[in-house]
């Protein structure tokens, strides 16, 4: 028997930046057993993220910005080093990541490569994150980056040696899941191997 899920009721707990719902549902298991459960589901939309890399310089572009939830959870400064990312809004993932890259880092990309799609926290968040990689060069820098003032973004652009970024991941300076996944993707796929 194929599992089946039926929503019995939905209560909106918050509808601000995203929508937090309390959902009561009936779920039929493979063996036919029916369970009634309640869970909170946070829907903030889907997003996209990208690792910019330069083979010649052996570098990657990352960002640093304040993240309030990490501060609440013990990060003394709340500052996080991350790969460029953003919410899709109404855009497709590639269009979104090109726009976010320009806004956050100041680089205008020529080609991007989609490498995976990931549910980042499937126990409570609906978000699907689309992962990309792209090469960059100094002549692709068309702006300052730093994010949009109207979105109250204050983003620092970091150009790091790839090996330094891996060390920062290993020693805990980089704790962001999407960034770790992209750095590991680059390492596993030999992006920085000399040709």
* Binding site listing for Mg(2+): 85, 100, 104, 153
| DSSP 8-state assignment for residue 119 | E
In sequence order, which residues have a C-beta less than 8 Å from that of residue 158 and are 6 or more positions away? Answer: 61, 62, 63, 64, 81
> What is the phi/psi pair of residue 84, to 5°?
-55, 140
| DSSP 8-state assignment for residue 132 | E
Q: Are 42 and 124 contacting, i.e. CB atoms less than 8 angstroms apart?
A: yes
Pick out the residues of the known binding site.
85, 100, 104, 153
């Amino acid at each position: 028997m194929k599992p089946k899920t039926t929503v019995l009721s939905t209560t909106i707990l918050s509808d601000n930046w995203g929508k937090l719902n309390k959902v009561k549902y009936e779920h039929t298991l493979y063996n036919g057993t029916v369970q009634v459960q309640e869970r909170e589901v946070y829907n903030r939309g889907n997003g996209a993220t990208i690792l910019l890399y330069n083979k010649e310089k052996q570098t990657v572009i990352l960002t640093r910005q304040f993240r309030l939830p990490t501060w609440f959870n013990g990060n003394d400064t709340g500052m996080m080093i991350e790969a460029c990312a953003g919410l899709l809004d109404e855009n497709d993932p590639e269009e979104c990541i090109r726009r976010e890259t320009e806004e956050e880092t100041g680089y205008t990309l020529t080609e991007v490569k989609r490498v995976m799609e990931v549910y980042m926290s499937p126990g409570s968040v609906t978000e699907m994150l689309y992962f990309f990689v792209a090469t960059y060069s100094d002549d692709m820098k068309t702006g300052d980056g730093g994010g949009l003032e109207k979105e109250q973004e204050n983003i620092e652009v970091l150009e790091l040696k790839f090996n330094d970024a891996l060390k920062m991941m290993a020693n805990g300076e980089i704790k962001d899941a999407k960034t770790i996944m992209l750095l590991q993707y680059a390492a596993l796929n030999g992006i920085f191997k000399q040709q």
